[in-house]
Structures are given as structure tokens and as C-alpha cells.
Structure 1
Amino acid sequence: MQLIRGLQNLHNFHHECVATIGNFDGLHIGHQAILLRLKESAALLNLPTCVIIFEPQPREFFNPETAPIRLTRLREKLELLQQAGIDYVLCLHFNKRLRQLSADDFVQQILVQGLHVKHLQIGDDFRFGCDRSGDFAFLQQQGECFGFTVEPTGTIELDGVRVSSTRVRDALAQSDFALAQRLLGRPYSITGRVLYGQQLGRTINAPTANVQLKRHKAPVCGVFLIKATLVNGKVIPGVANLGVRPSVKSDGKAHLEVHLLDFSGNLYGQPLHVEFLQKIRDEKRFASLAELQEAIAADIAYGRYHWQHFHTL
């Protein structure tokens, strides 16, 4: 898969293609249906696929404080798109210039002149352009003018309710990881590189891997039973704390700290893939280091006892 960053790099794109546009946050089963149809159309036309995404996501640009919490950061999204078999990703920097681009100019500059789109696959609720006039009817009319076809992807439902990134966030907020997995088509996970932390865990006999989040907020918060996949593919159970760490010196940002059961080794600098299995408890502030140590010991004992259940599923 090839990543094209920004409009300025489209001059190097000399292919015709089939394309889709959206945030694709979480890449849930609704998004996957769009990508499947996109690849089917690409196969019929013998053309490569291209997914157009925005960074930051539009709602993050307009209202960063109230924008939805991301399910996947950019790197995770790109990895999922690569796994889905997409050929190209065009990542557009959503800034004042792009915000002011009309639907007409978006079609002509990006879809026609930039990507040479021959077929466009869109979600059933897709709209774009500074005037929000870029809907399915508009695209059909533009396609007739510029020689590309447009197809909407029907709503994907689960248990009679539309699948959406918002619904995934709601499931995670309620720690319903079974529902989140059904909506995502895979377990909810976070992948990040292991960094040096405060080393507090080592002093209380519970060493942790400090996993880089690269986000201020996460869609889950608390203490969880997890399974981690190392760079060599080895899977190890563990207990993770994801939150602002109120019992230690906090910077107010979310941190993911993972204690792997019965593991010793150096993970610094390596990527760690963390799947969330079950919530153990909410994050809380402890009055003393001794209370914190006692709670962590209880969390580890819980994780060790309950891991066998998930291991045999």
C-alpha cells in the first residue's frame, strides 16, 4: 500500500483508480463493507483502489475539545487499510484551505485532476464540501460530466441497529467488549511502542510496559484484563491500566501501562499490540503507595484467575 500525503503530492499519481472518501475511524464492519465493494469494483475495472482520509478529522478541526474520541490513530488506521488490501491512501491535511474548498472544486481538483477517479464508492450518509452540497445526487451529476460512476453502500446493521463509529465508542464506554468486537469484526485493541516510564511499577513488584498512545484521550478508561502480542508473535496475558494515573504525578493525559503475567524481558522500543478482554475496575486514586500496591496485586490475581476462561474460548 502506498501513502500519498497531501494535495501537493498528487502530481505524482498517474493512474486511474476507484476511490472512496471518509474518516474510517475504527474501520468497523460498516467501513469494511464499503472497502469490499470498492475492491469488487476495482477488480471489474482492473484498476487500483484508493481511500481518501483526512488528518485531522474534520470535527477535530472545527471543535477539538468536543470531537469524538478516536478509536484508531492514523498509524493504526493505515495498518488496517493495508490489511484490507487497499492499494493507495490519500491523506488530506484538513486545514482552512481544504475547509473552504467547494464540493465542485473538491471533485475537479482531487477526484478528477488528481486521482483520475473512474468509480466512486461512498457511504449512505456521506456529505462533503464547504457548503455540504456534496451528496450522492451531486456526485452522480458530476460523474456524468467527468466520466466516473458513483455507487452508495447500503446501511450495515447489527441486531437491527446501524453500525457506526459512535456505536463502537458507546460499547467501549460501557466496557461491552463483546459487542465492540462484533461491531469492529475484531477485538478492540491499541498498538503502540513501549517507552521508558516512571519505573514506579518496579518498586512495588509490578513492572509495567509504558505503551505510547499518541492521543490525549482513549475510548476506554480503567483497569483491564488484556492479552498482548509481542513483535515476535508471542501472546501473553496481562493486566493494563489506561487512564490519567491519579495516584502518581499526572500530566492529565491518558497513559497505557501493561503488566504482563509471568514475563521477563526487555520490550523497550518494540511495538506492543494490546487487546482488551474485560474490565476489572475503574481507575481510582489511592491514599498511599501501600494501598496502590495492594490494589495492583489484587488486579493481577484477578487477571491470572480469569485469563484461563478467555484462553479456552
Structure 2
Amino acid sequence: MLVFRGTSQPAPSATVLTIGNFDGVHLGHRALLARLCAVAGESGLPPAVLTFEPHPREFFAPESAPTRLSTLREKLELIAEDGIELAFVCRFNRAFASLSADQFIEDVLVKTLRVRHLIIGDDFRFGARRAGDFALLQRAGESFGFRVEAMASVVEGGVRVSSSAVRDALWTGELERAAELLGRPYVIDGRVVHGDKVGRQLGYATANIRMKHDRPPLLGVFAVEVTGLGGRPLPGVANLGYRPTANAVLRPILEVHLFDFAADIYGAHLTVRFLHKIRDEMKFPGFDALKAQIARDVDTARQYFKL
């Protein structure tokens, strides 16, 4: 997949396009992307996505913006897996936010992205003060020569699939429900870096994974699988949080203990799949109590994997 930063460079060809934040790339997003690829295949044009960085709600109200499900890198990787060929990452700033709906259509969609067929979600709004809607896009399509269609929401288990629903499931520890809404387990990517070696002192060496998530959508102790270290996923147990007992931190960190694994993996880029929540993070009276609880967590995770 080719990734373009900004919208100053014209698309290399006419496109079949969709627009959105795609946070988490859940089942609703994936249905839209599948339709996009089908239309692109019929028309002989590349399927393309326009997305935004930062999330518009982070720009307008950073204090109340929702927790991100995916970093930009994770989002682009997931979009690429669904067959998208072109991704345009638009910097959402004051100048872009002030574009009128008509300016957005003419300058971005027509002149830069060379849209021939546009597919949007049924709740899509755009332009300054969110003045643009599906009806305006249809009228513009008649003028500029592109078709427009809207995708209905996807419902799973009686619930509209949305990034908010995924966040709620993750925060309450319903990882299996989150996986149903996403169509896969929730994942966090990161590179293994040196930590303070506390896990080793406790008898459970951990990989300290540097995350780009300042506010991850879940906290606690989890049964996980890790990919990036060979051909098959490796099972383990992870702590994602602030380590209130051992060297408490201000920014959450992700530490993973892999079962029956002892290689040096510093610098490796790993993907952690969160499969099952074991417990909330808690503060213990001392290292002995913490070590005993970690042993129980490891046993619980091994039982989950039937090891």
C-alpha cells in the first residue's frame, strides 16, 4: 500500500475512495473496505482511503477526546491487510478544519484524490461546522462526474458496531466481545526496549514493549499471544498499566512474559494480541505478595492456553 502524507500531491490515478477515521478498523470499517475493493475491482481503479491525523475530536477537544484504539501505524497496517492500495493521511489542523464543504469536495476529492466513486458511512459529515452530507455529495457528483453511495451500519449481536462499542468492551474487560466487534483480537504493536529488569528480579523476565498509546483503551493483566518472533504466535501473560507496587510510572507501560522463552529480543517489533482479561491491576503490600500473585496469573494464563 502506498501512503501519502497530506493532500498536496495528486493521486497517481483516478480512485475509488472512502473517507473516515477508521479507529480500530472494526467490522463496520471492514465491511466498507470490502465494498470499496469490490467496486474498485469492477472499475479497474485502485481502492483508496482518506484518513486524518490527529483524530478531529483530538483537535477540537483534546481533553475529552476518546481513547484511541489504534495508532496511525497500526491503523494503516490493518487497512493494508484489507486490500487497500492507496492511503492519504491528511493533517487535521485549523486550516483543514476551516475548509467549507464545497471547498473540500472540489479541492480535495476532485482535484487531489481524483475520485470517481465515493463510498461513505451512513453518518458521514464533513466540511466546516460539519455542513456537508450525503445529499451535497450526490449533487456534487452530478457536477464533477463521480458516483456516491452510503454503507449502512453493521450490527453484531444486536449492537451497532462502532469504535465506541469496542472501547466500552475493552475497558470493562470483555475482550471476547471486543474481538467479535473487531473481527479479530485487539492488538497493540511496539518495539522491545530495555526496562528496569524488575520482572527478572521477581523470577518472570518480561519484554518491555514501547507503545505509542499514551492512554490505552484497556488496563490490567491479560492472557496474550505475541507475533513477530517467528512463524507462530507465542503465548504469555501481560501487564498493561502503571505498576503501582514496583517502580510506579506516570505513563502506562506494557510488559509481556512469554512462556518457556529465553531469547534476547531487544529491538524486535512485536504485536501483542489481547485474548482474555485475568484481573485488574492492583497495589500489593510488598514484592513477596506481588511475586505470589504473578505466579497465580501465570498459572491462570497457562490454563487459558491449556498448557
Give the TM-score category using the shorter length.
over 0.9
Give the equivalent residue in structure 2 for 1:217.
Answer: 215
Q: 2:60 matched to which residue of 1?
A: 62
Identity %: 48
Please give the secondary structure, in 2, of the residue aligned with 1:194.
Answer: strand
Question: Cα offset for 1:58?
Answer: 0.3
Map of 2:245 onto structure 1:
247
1:75 Cα offset (Å):
0.6
Tell me the distance in 2 between the aligned counterparts of 1:238 and 1:14: 44
State yes or no: 1:97 paired with 2:92: no
In structure 2, the partner of 1:6 is: 6
Distance 1:220 1:73 in 2: 14
Secondary structure of residue in 2 paired with 1:51: strand
Shift of 1:103: 0.9
**In the aligned structure 2, how far is the partner of 1:303 from the partner of 1:178?**
15
* Matched residue, 2:29: 31
Give the match's secondary structure for 1:131: helix
- Would the aligned equivalents of 2:176 and 2:276 in 1 still touch at CA under 8 Å? no
Deviations 1:223-245 (A, max 9, x none): 11112123322322111000111
Give secondary structure in 2 for the equivalent of 1:217.
coil
Q: Deviations over 1:46-71 (max 9, x none)?
A: 11111000000001111122111111
For residues 253-299 of structure 1, what are the alpha-carbon distances to aligned partners after superposition, in whole Å with 9 as ceiling and x for unaligned? Answer: 11110001111001111111211121111101122222222221221
| Distance change (3 Å), C-alpha of 1:14 and 1:303 | closer
Stretches of structure 2 that go unaligned for 5 or more consecutive residues are: none
Alignment of 1:262-281 (within 5 A): 262-281=260-279
- Measure how far apart 1:7 and its partner are: 2.2
Q: How far did residue 14 of structure 1 move?
A: 3.3
Give how far 1:248 is off. Answer: 2.9
The separation in 2 between residues aligned to 1:306 and 1:29, in whole angstroms, is 26
With 120-129 and 179-188 compared, the bigger mean Cα shift is at 179-188
What does residue 165 of structure 1 align with?
Answer: 163
Moved more, 127-136 or 298-307: 298-307
> 2-side partners of 1:45 and 1:170: how far apart?
38
Letter in 2 for 1:70: R
- Alignment-derived partner of residue 145 in structure 2: 147
Instruction: Tell me the distance in 1 between the aligned counterparts of 2:271 and 2:289.
Output: 29
How far apart, in 2, do the equivalents of 1:259 and 1:71 lie? 23
Gap runs ≥5 in structure 1: none
TM-score (norm 2): 0.97
- Could you tell me which of 19, 22, 25 is aligned with 2:20? 22
Q: What is the TM-score of this pair, normalised by structure 1?
A: 0.95
DSSP-derived class of the 1:280 partner: strand
Distance 2:257 2:292 in 1: 15
Amino acid at match of 1:3: V
SS at match of 1:7: coil
Q: CA deviation at 1:202?
A: 1.1
State the one-letter code of the partner of 1:4: F
CA distance in structure 2 between the aligned counterparts of 1:2 and 1:240, rounded to whole angstroms? 33
1:73 aligns with one of 44, 48, 71: 71
Using the alignment, how far apart are the partners of 1:80 and 1:142 within structure 2? 31
Q: In the alignment, residue 2 of structure 2 is paired with which amino acid?
A: Q
Q: Could you say what the CA RMSD is over the residues aligned between the two structures, in angstroms?
A: 1.3
What is the rounded CA distance, in whole Å, between the counterparts of 1:224 and 1:160 in structure 2?
Answer: 27
Matched, 1:116 2:114: yes
